[in-house]
Amino acid sequence: GESVGLHLPTLSVQEGDNSIINCAYSNSASDYFIWYKQESGKGPQFIIDIRSNMDKRQGQRVTVLLNKTVKHLSLQIAATQPGDSAVYFCAEASSGNTGKLIFGQGTTLQVKP
């Protein structure tokens, strides 16, 4: 069946360093991927997305990389700040056009001052 998972439950980085959060997906038919950030007590917040016709997409301080060969997705955060501390989820779109997303369990990013 379809599943999306994250490799590390917790990632601890020093303020100012770059962070890399990884995600593996199993459905090679998925063609849309999203990264969400969830702060404590809040709903998930959209960070960046990428479609399967791209390998890389950049936003403000964030970059998403997609490797379809090994079904791997990563989120890179440059110059990590204390405000980046949160749980990060990757999600993949299921087949069809219903917009359904399948979420992984999440990686907690802790930023040390």
Partner 1 sequence: NAGVTQTPKFRILKIGQSMTLQCTQDMNHNYMYWYRQDPGMGLKLIYYSVGAGITDKGEVPNGYNVSRSTTEDFPLRLELAAPSQTSVYFCASSHPTNEQYFGPGTRLTVT
Which residues of this chain interact with partner 1, rule CB under 8 A?
Answer: 4, 32, 34, 36, 41-46, 49, 89, 93, 97-106
Phi, psi of 83 (to 5 degrees): -70, -10
Whose Cβ is closer to partner 1: residue 77's or residue 101's? Answer: 101
Report the nearest approach of partner 1 to the CB of residue 16 (Å).
28
**85 Cβ contact list (under 8 Å, min separation 6):** 39, 109, 110, 111
CB 38, CB 44: distance < 8 Å: yes
Q: At closest approach, how far in Å is the CB of 20 from partner 1?
A: 19
Residue positions counted in the chain: 113
Output 100 or 112, the one with its CB closest to partner 1.
Answer: 100
Query: From the CB of 71, what's the least distance to partner 1, in Å?
Result: 17
- Which residue lies nearer to partner 1 by CB, 69 or 98? 98
φ/ψ of residue 99, rounded to 5: 75, 5
